[in-house]
């Protein structure tokens, strides 16, 4: 049985860990976000490991990226050791972009602000047309 602080096995491209001081550490995993079809909404899921059983809000922020629409919902931290998180992305046209995501718990970046940000390279391709 996995404990509160054991690594989480994931196929997600990123993972989020919140320590007892509500400091957020976000990191890339060994997995990549696949190329996404332009013009469609895509969900990018990630695990949230809450080693401090923190409750409150986890906010994701990003500066605007031309040609990319981001849906960055506020996640309500339940205090559970793990919970699921996600964000959504939609591209206007096929492209490659570097999206900088910043994660904050309880409204504060804390002393590890550099660890709460992540550059995520995202690719989009032309949506395939259905065969007639």
| Rounded-to-integer distance, Cα 77 and Cα 105, Å | 9
In a domain, 71, yes or no: yes
Residues 11-39: tens digit of each pLDDT? 999 999 999 888 899 999 999 999 999 99
Instruction: Please report, for residues 3, 11, 31, 104, 116, the alpha-carbon distance to residue 25 in angstroms, rounded to integers and kept in the order given.
Output: 19, 18, 17, 9, 5
In a domain, 131, yes or no: no
Q: What is the pLDDT of residue 10?
A: 86
Residue 39, token pair as written in the block: 């013009």
State the residue range of the domain holding 46. 14-125
Would the pTM count as exceeding 0.75?
yes
| Rounded-to-integer distance, Cα 2 and Cα 5, Å | 8
More confident residue, 126 or 114: 126
| Rounded-to-integer distance, Cα 132 and Cα 120, Å | 36
Residue 68 neighbours by CB distance under 10 Å: 18
Residues linked to residue 47 through DSSP beta bridges, in sequence order: 84
How many domains is the chain built from?
1
- For residue 7, pLDDT over 60 is answered with no
In a domain, 35, yes or no: yes
Q: What is the pLDDT of residue 3?
A: 47
Q: Residue 24's domain is classified under what CATH number?
A: 2.60.40.10
Q: Within the chain, what is the greatest distance between any pair of CA atoms?
A: 57
What share of the chain has pLDDT > 90, as a percent?
73
In a domain, 132, yes or no: no
- For residue 121, pLDDT over 90 is answered with yes
Q: What is the pLDDT of residue 131?
A: 57
CA dihedral (122, 76, 48, 15) in degrees, to 10, reads 20
Calculate mean pLDDT across residues 51-59: 92
Calculate mean pLDDT across residues 122-127: 92
DSSP 110: G
In a domain, 3, yes or no: no
- For residue 1, pLDDT over 50 is answered with no
Residues 86-104: tens digit of each pLDDT? 999 999 999 999 999 999 9
Q: What is the pLDDT of residue 107?
A: 65
């Amino acid at each position: 049985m996995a404990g509160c602080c054991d690594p989480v096995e994931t196929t997600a491209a990123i993972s989020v860990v919140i320590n007892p001081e509500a400091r957020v550490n976000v990191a890339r995993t060994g997995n990549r976000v696949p190329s996404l079809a332009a013009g469609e909404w895509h969900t990018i899921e990630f695990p949230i490991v809450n080693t401090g059983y923190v409750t409150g809000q986890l906010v994701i922020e990003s500066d605007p990226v031309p040609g990319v629409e981001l849906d960055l919902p506020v996640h309500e931290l339940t205090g559970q050791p793990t919970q699921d998180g996600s964000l959504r992305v939609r591209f206007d046209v096929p492209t490659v972009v570097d999206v900088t995501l910043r994660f904050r718990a309880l409204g504060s970046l804390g002393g590890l602000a550099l660890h709460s940000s992540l550059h995520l390279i995202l690719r989009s391709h032309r949506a395939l047309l259905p065969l007639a």
